[in-house]
Structure 1
Amino acid sequence: MKLQTLRLSLALGLASALLAFPTAAHAQPAEDHAPTLAALKALQANAGPGAGVHAGDGSTSWTLSTGTGTVNQNRPIQPDERFRAGSQTKTFVAVAVLKLVEQGAFSLDEPIGGLLPGVVTGNGYDDTAITVRHLLQHTSGIPTNGLPLPQAGPDGTYTLAALVKDGLRFAPAAAPGAAFHYSNTNYEILGLLIEKVTGLPVYEAVTTGVIGPLGLTRTSFPAAGDRAVPEPAVHGYRGARIGGFYFWLDGTVYEPSNFYASGAVISTLKDLTAFYRALIGGEVLTPASLAELERTVQPGAPGVEYGLGITAYALSCGGKAWGHNGAVPGYFTQTLVTKDGRHASVVTNAHLVTNVPSAQMMKVLDTALCESRG
C-alpha cells in the first residue's frame, strides 16, 4: 500500500481503525533471556503491535513475545500461531527446484530457454544465457519488479504467467551472472518451471514435495484466491505511528497470488525453525545439492552472502547463520539457523511502507543465536 493511500484510508476511516497501546513483555520459559528480550522490544518499538522470537540451541527452545498479536487484546505471539512468511517462501521453492535437479529433470546450469521456451524473451533478455542457477541466486540480470501489478483477473487474482510478464517489462539490469539483483520475478519463473516439470500447480508441488514430507503441519502454500490466514493466527496490520499511539488497520486477509512463488507461504515460528534446521542439517537435500545451495555470491552488504534461495549472515559471536527474511503487507519475518542447531525465528505483525526495521530484526536474531551458543 502506498503511503498516500494509507494516509487517506486513515483519514477517512478512523472509526474503523484500531488504536493500540504497548503491552507488557512476556517470556517463556521462566529463565531470563534479557539481551534478546531487550532487542525484541527495540524491534517492536519500530514495527508492529507485537513481536515474537522462537529460539534455542540444538536441544532446547524458548519463546519471547512483546506487545500483542491482536490489537486491543493482551495476546502474546505464540510459536505455533500462523502468519505470512513472505520471501521465506523462496527457500521452499529453491528446495523444490533442487529436488527436481536430483531427480534428473534438468540441471542447475541449464538455460531457461530450453526449459520454458518463449517465456524469458524480448526487452533485451536472452533465454539461452539465463540459467536455473541464475534465477535461484538472483543473478539473472532481471531487476527488482514493481508494484502494483496491473494484470489481475476479474476475481482479483494473478497467474504466474502474468507476474512474469509484468516483471519482464523492466529491461535487464545486468548481463546474466554479472551481478546480484534481488527480484521476485526470478522465483515466479521458477514457479512456472516447477509447474511444467511436475504437472502440478506450484503450491501443490511445493506442498507435496517439501512441506508435507517434513511434517510441517502448520505450514501451507495457499492457492490463488485463498486469502485468509488459518487460525490460530498472528493478526497482521497495516497502519501508522503517531507519537506514542499506533493506528492499525487489519491486514491479515490478503491475496496470496500477488507474490505467489516468491512469497505466499504461511507458517509459524516453530515450523520455520524446523524447516531451516532440517535443511541446513542435511536432512532435506543430498550432500551435493546442499553444497550447491550454500555456494554464495556477495549481494553487496557487509557480512551477507546469498546462496540458492537462502542467505548467510556473519554473526557477531563468530560463524555464520543461514535463512531468509520476508515482508508482505501485515508481516515482517526472518529465520536463521546455524550448523550446530542453534535457531531463531522472528515475526512482527506489521510491515510498514517506510522505515523497515531490518537492523532491529537482525539484532534480535544475532542476539538470540549468540545467547544460545554453548
Structure 2
Amino acid sequence: MGYSQMRWRKACVGLAAAAMLVLPASAGSAYGGATLAPSLSASSSTDTEFPELSPAVAARLDKAIRQVMREAKVPGVIVALSAPGKGSYIRTFGVADKATGAPMEPDLNMRIGSETKTFTVTALLELVDEGKVGLDDPIAKYIDGVPNGDRITLRDLAEMRSGLFNYTMDEGFFKALTSDPRRPFTPQELLDFSFKHPVQFQPGEKFDYCNTNLILLGLVVEKAGGMPLHDFIEQNVVKPAGLRHTLFPTGAEFPSPHAHGYTNQTASGKVEDSTDWNPSWGWAAGAMISDLQDLRSWARTLATGTLLTPETQAQRLKTEPTTIPGAHYGLGIFNVQGWIGHNGSLPGYESLTIYLPEAQATLVVLLNTDILHDQAEPSTLFGQAITRIVTPEHVFNLPVQASRPKS
C-alpha cells in the first residue's frame, strides 16, 4: 500500500545527501494558484472543518511543503489540494531532472506504484458486479497451485488478509531485481518467489500488506475478463473514468513529459536515476503511470464508487483495522484518519491520492524520490504536513513498519 513493511514491497505501494534543490519562496510554480473552484453541495460542518484555500492558507502550505523538501532532500514535488467552494491549491516545487535542472511541471507523467492496486481491484469489482466472479470464491477456482488456495478467497486477497508470503520480501527476488532493474518479470515468476515460502497465517486472521495478493487478482481479472490485464483496465476502468493520461505499461515505456526518479534501492546502496527501470515486477500491484489531473479525478471516482454498484462500493469501503495506528484497509483501498485512497512507491517515485468525504476534498502528491527520511516515507511527510494545516482533525499519517523491499 505504499506504507512499506519493507522497502521494496512498498513500490507496488512511494535521501540523496546531494543534489537537492530547494526553491526560494518566489520560485515555486503556482500553477492554478489559490483560485476558487465551482461550488458543489456540502454540509454546514464542512464550512468549519475545511478552510478556504486563500492566499494566506496557500502561503502556509508553501512553507510546510518547502520544509519537507528541505529536510527530506526531495528533488521535486507536485501538489494539488481542492474542495468544493473552498478553492484549489496547485503547486510544483523543485526539479524534475537533477542533471539539467528542468523544473517540475503539473503535466508530467509519473509512476504511481501501489496506486495501481486501486485500478486492479476496481477491475475485479466490476467483474463482481457483472456476476463473473464472486468475492467469496476461493482463489483455487481460478488459479492452480496457490498455497492454501482452497481457503483463500478473492476478498481475503483484496483486503490483504490472505496469509501468503509477499514476493517482494524474498531475498532471491531482491537480488534478481537490484542486479538488473531493467529486466522484465512475468506474473508467474513473481508468484514463484512467493510460493516457495510457507503461508504466514490462515486467511482472515490478520492484516498483512502483500503484493502477491494483487498479482493473483490481476490473473483473475485476465481469466474472467477474457483479455490481458492492461487491456481490461484501459477499456473498463481508465476510459470509463475519463482518464486521459493514465496507462498500464507492458514494459519500461514511460510517455513524455515525465520526471526523472531517484532511488537508493540499488545493489550498491548508492543513489541512481531509476527513470527507465522496468516496473513489470510490480505488475497488477504497482506498474501504472498517471498524472496530476487524472489522479485528482480518480480520487473522487475511487472514493465515491461511480464505476461500481452502490452495494459493491459499500463492500469496498468496509474497512478493517490494520497494524498501523489510525489506518484501516478495505478492498484495495485504505482509510487513514478519514482520508480514503491509496499511496504508492517504487524506486524513484512516490504518490499519494486521497479524498476526504466530509469536505469532498481531494489531495494528490507526486514526487520523484522514494528515499526515506528518518525512516519516514516522503509522501507521508507531505501528506501529514498538508493535512495538519487544512484538516487538523484528520491528519494523514502512515508510519513505516520496517526497513527494506517495498511496494
Bucket of the pairwise TM-score, normalised by the shorter protein: 0.7 to 0.9
1:83 equivalent in alignment to 2:110: yes
Structure 2: how far apart are the matches of 1:183 and 1:278?
A: 24
Question: How far apart in 1 are the matches of 2:161 and 2:361?
Answer: 30
In the alignment, what sits opposite 2:139? 112
Partner residue, 2:298: 275
The within-5 A match list for 1:344-359 is 344-352=363-371, 355-358=375-378, 359=380
Q: Does the CA contact (< 8 Å) of 1:138 and 1:180 recur in 2?
A: yes
Partner of 1:254: 277
TM-score (norm 2): 0.77
Structure-1 separation of matches of 2:21 and 2:321? 41
* Distance in 1 between residues matched to 2:309 and 2:244, nearest whole Å: 23
- What residue number does 2:257 align with? 232
User: Are 1:277 and 1:337, in contact at CA under 8 Å, matched by a contact in 2?
Assistant: yes
Q: Which runs of 5+ in 1 are unaligned?
A: 4-17, 241-246, 315-319
Does the CA-based 8 Å contact 1:343-1:369 persist in structure 2? no
Is contact 1:51-1:346 (8 Å) kept?
yes
The 3 A distance-change label for structure 1 pair 79 and 284 is farther
Equivalent residue for 1:160?
187
CA deviation map 1:49-78 (0-9, x unaligned): 112211111354321222212225554433
* Secondary structure of residue in 2 paired with 1:279: helix
Aligned to 1:140: 162
The residue that corresponds to 1:6 in the other structure is none
Pair 1:64-2:91 in alignment: yes
- Contact kept, 8 Å, 2:159 with 2:329, in 1: the verdict is yes
Higher relative contact order (CA 8 A, sep 6+): 2
Cα 1:165–1:302 change in 2 (3 A) is same
CA–CA separation in structure 1 for the residues paired with 2:279 and 2:235: 19
Quote the sequence identity (%): 30
Deviations 1:109-141 (A, max 9, x none): 11111122x231xxxx32111000000010001
Alpha-carbon distance in 2 for matches of 1:289, 1:36: 36
Q: Does 1:336 align with 2:387?
A: no
> Do the aligned partners of 1:141 and 1:175 also contact (CA within 8 Å) in 2?
yes
Q: How many residues align?
A: 340
What is the rounded CA distance, in whole Å, between the counterparts of 1:368 and 1:328 in structure 2? 28
SS in 2 for 1:335: strand
What TM-score do you get using the length of structure 1 for normalisation?
0.83
Q: 39-48 or 169-178: which moved more?
A: 39-48
The verdict on how the C-alpha distance between 1:221 and 1:369 changes in structure 2, with shifts beyond 3 A counting, is farther
Residue 100 of structure 1 corresponds to 127
What is the one-letter code of the residue matched to 1:23?
L
Q: Give deviations 1:12-57, integer Å, cap 9, x for gaps.
A: xxxxxx9454333513416341332233223323153112211111
Per the alignment, residue 23 of structure 2 pairs with 23
Query: 2:278 and 2:69 mapped to 1: Cα distance?
Result: 25
Residues 368 and 308 (structure 1 numbering): CA distance in 2 closer, same or farther, change over 3 Å? farther
Structure 1 residue 254: Cα displacement: 1.4
Alpha-carbon distance change, 197 to 70 in structure 1, aligned in 2, over 3 angstroms: same
Matches for 1:35-54 after TM superposition, within 5 Å:
35-45=60-70, 46-54=72-80
Give the partner amino acid of 1:370: T
Q: How does 1:198-347 map to 2 (within 5 A)?
A: 198-223=225-250, 225=251, 227-239=252-264, 249-314=272-337, 320-339=338-357, 340-347=359-366
SS in 2 for 1:292: helix
The one-letter code sitting in structure 1 at the alignment partner of 2:277 is: Y
> Contact 2:135–2:154 (CA<8 Å) still a contact in 1?
yes
Secondary structure at the aligned position of 2:312 is classed as: helix
- Name the SS for the 1:148 alignment partner: helix
* C-alpha displacement of 1:285: 1.2
Q: Distance in 2 between matches of 1:98 and 1:89?
A: 14
Q: What is the identity, as a one-letter code, of the residue corresponding to 1:253?
A: D
Secondary structure of the corresponding residue to residue 324 of structure 1: strand
Q: Who is 2:149 aligned against? A: 127
Counterpart CA distance in 2 for 1:110 and 1:369 is 42
Q: What per-residue deviation string (whole Å, max 9, x for no partner) do you get for residues 161-185 of structure 1? A: 1111212222212110001110110
8 A contact 1:43–1:361 mirrored in 2: yes
Q: Is the 8 A contact 1:143 1:170 kept in 2?
A: yes
CA distance in 1, matches of 2:345, 2:219: 22
Q: Does 1:361 align with 2:364?
A: no
How far apart, CA to CA, are the structure 2 residues paired with 1:221 and 1:141? 27
The 8 Å contact of residues 39 and 360 in structure 1, kept in 2 or not, is answered as no
Q: 1:239 to 1:128 in 2, by over 3 A?
A: closer
Gapped regions of structure 2 (runs ≥ 5): 1-6, 9-17, 35-54, 395-407
Q: Which amino acid in 2 is paired with 1:345?
A: V
3-state SS of the aligned residue for 1:302?
coil
Q: Which AA in structure 2 matches 1:22?
A: V
